[in-house]
Amino acid sequence: MNDCINCGATAEDNSFRFTHYYPCSRRGTVERDAKWYCWQHDPEYIERKKKEREDKWKRKWAREKESWRRKDAERNACKGVPTEILENINVKSLLEQINNE
């Protein structure tokens, strides 16, 4: 590896009113498709991080959807039952009675 080769990626700076693009100033450490990249702009690293981020959001939304589905089921199961009765129900004992029958 040649230490004089800089990263071939274009970085962006959003700290101003308009986005400013400039060449990355880091030294290239990984060669991909005959082009040098630093660790941050390595295409494989970027893809891996993107996949991790997407997987994280998919898991989060799956939990959210399951939570919504459960709340809907609870709401439908309790439809028409007065609040006073719902507050006094011991769900654990009800489930035990159902399982014993």
One-letter-per-residue 3-state SS of the chain: CCCCCECCCEEEECCCCCCEEEECCCECCEEECCEEECCCCCHHHHHHHHHHHHHHHHHHHHHHHHHHHHHHHHHHHCCCCCHHHHHHCCHHHHHHHHHHC
Query: Greater confidence, 86 or 62?
Result: 62
**Angle value at C-alpha 20, between 16 and 21, nearest 5 degrees:** 155
- Return the structure tokens found at 97: 């009675």
68 shares its domain with 92: yes
Section 18-29 average pLDDT: 87
The reply to whether 84 and 100 lie within a common domain is yes
Residues 56 and 30 in one domain: no
**Domain total in the chain:** 2
What percent of the chain has pLDDT above 70? Answer: 95
| 53/99 same-domain check | yes
Residues 36 and 64 in one domain: no
91 and 51 share one domain: yes
How high does pLDDT run on average in the chain? Answer: 87
Under the banding of pLDDT at 50, 70 and 90, the label for residue 1 is: very low
The reported pLDDT for the residue numbered 3 is 55
Same domain for 57 and 96, yes or no, is yes
User: Which domain range does residue 89 map to?
Assistant: 47-101
